Amino acid sequence: RREPDAKVIFCAGHIEAVQIGSTFLLGCYLILSGMDCEQARSAFSDCDQLLKRFEYTDCLQISDFWEAVHTAKEMGWLKFEEENGEEVSIGTIDIDEYAHYASQVNGAIYTVIPGRLLFFR
């Protein structure tokens, strides 16, 4: 990281589900940017109470999902650079296309990583 002591401030509104989702995605970004899971967890230490209220099942926490992202990155499943070290654009999300496929009518398909990973509801 260029500025390891810099703070990131984000606003996710008042809806708890949006706050949790935003925290999850930011944690994934930190992990994909080179942090390990413990560093990502500590980056959100002020959000502990919010993250403790998240329940996917009785036994899964957001940190478990971050561990999965970290493992996928370590195993090379989420690889974002060429062998020679040059960065590769992972693409961007076309918001109109995203909204189209996110609709239940069109299959509720979500792009997680452009060109690499889809989520089906």
Number of CB atoms found within 10 A of residue 21's CB? 14
Please determine, for residue 24, whether its predicted confidence score (pLDDT) is greater than 70.
yes
pLDDT in tens, 58-87: 677 888 889 988 998 888 777 665 556 555
Q: What's the rounded mean pLDDT across residues 97-102?
A: 82
| Contact predicate 46/53, CB 8 Å | no
Q: Provide the pLDDT for residue 22.
A: 86
Q: What average pLDDT does the chain have?
A: 77
Q: How confident is residue 96, by pLDDT bands cut at 50, 70 and 90? A: confident
Angle between helices 62-74 and 16-32 in degrees, nearest 10: 20
pLDDT in tens, 30-56: 888 888 999 988 888 888 777 777 766
Q: What angle do CA 42, 62, 111 make, to 5 degrees?
A: 115
Concatenated DSSP letters of 30-76? HHHTT--HHHHHHHTGGGHHHHHT--SSSS--HHHHHHHHHHHHHTT
